[in-house]
Structure 1
Amino acid sequence: MADDLFKAAREAMAKAYAPYSKFPVGAALRTEDGRVFSGANIEVASFPEGWCAETTALAHYVMGGGGRITEIAVVAEKMDRITPCGGCRQRLAEFATADTKLHLCDQTGVVETLTMAEILPLGFAGDTLK
């Protein structure tokens, strides 16, 4: 089932705007009801003011009505098994659960699957801020 997420992430990666780093990344996430939202990294000349693929996917997800995220896939053109950066791990954790699957990909498909708990074991939880 993660194959379609990989394909969505790879298609998003093809739309990345990365003229400075030349490091395109794509991400896709699936909600509990089966909707898929994808995004690519977008750079601007004023580093570090661009945003990551996961952030773009999350923006589409929020504007699409949100829901519980059940799976995430991330792919990079020049790095196998790329993981979300620290900031994106926390952003994803805001809308995912500890059990949400994170699929790390190479150019051919999913090569490893982790959970959000494994990738961000001590992330901030929104309920601690109440």
Structure 2
Amino acid sequence: MLEPPHDLLEKARQTLKHAYVPYSHFPVGAALKSSSGTIYTGVNIENISFGLTNCAERTAIFTAIASGEREFDALVIIGETNEPIAPCGACRQVMVEFFKPDMPIWLTNTAGKTVQTDISQLMPGAFDSLT
């Protein structure tokens, strides 16, 4: 599937307005679909001490985990970028922990550009439970 599921894309797009980005002014939204069918959203939440900032992807994943989810089917990440947004290294490592290597991940932007990938492509050679 080259295009992200419409429901996930719209949820991710809608969450952008909830991003807390007073320092970077760079909102990011994410929508994660669990195997139970529930969609969890996340936004980036900044802190003046930048190391304490949390990314949209990790916010969605951690919310799902805190709700008891452990299996996931798809993730959409959206940003106000020229090209499809890519997750940072910390988010990629968290994805390795919770996503199957071939679970679809769509990187998008508000202009409609989309790239489909998965965590095995985003994080080759990652630390995992088998390493």
TM-score normalised according to structure 1 size: 0.90
CA contact (8 A) 1:2 1:103 kept: no
Q: What SS class does the counterpart of residue 126 from structure 1 fall into? A: coil
Q: Which runs of 5+ in 2 are unaligned?
A: none
- How is 1:53-92 mapped onto 2 (pairs within 5 angstroms)? 53-92=56-95
Letter of the 1:100 partner, please give it: M
Letter of the 1:4 partner, please give it: D
Q: What SS class does the counterpart of residue 18 from structure 2 fall into? A: coil
- Name the CA distance, whole Å, in 2 between partners of 1:80 and 1:3: 19
Of all paired residues, the percent bearing the same amino acid is: 35
- How is 1:1-130 mapped onto 2 (pairs within 5 angstroms)? 2-109=5-112, 111-128=114-131
TM-score normalised according to structure 2 size: 0.90
Q: Deviations over 1:69-122 (max 9, x none)?
A: 111100012343101101100101111011111101121546121111111111
Q: Which runs of 5+ in 1 are unaligned?
A: none
- Name the CA distance, whole Å, in 1 between partners of 2:118 and 2:20: 28
Q: What SS class does the counterpart of residue 64 from structure 2 fall into? A: helix
Q: What SS class does the counterpart of residue 14 from structure 1 fall into? A: helix
Aligned residues: 128
* Aligned-residue CA RMSD (Å): 1.5
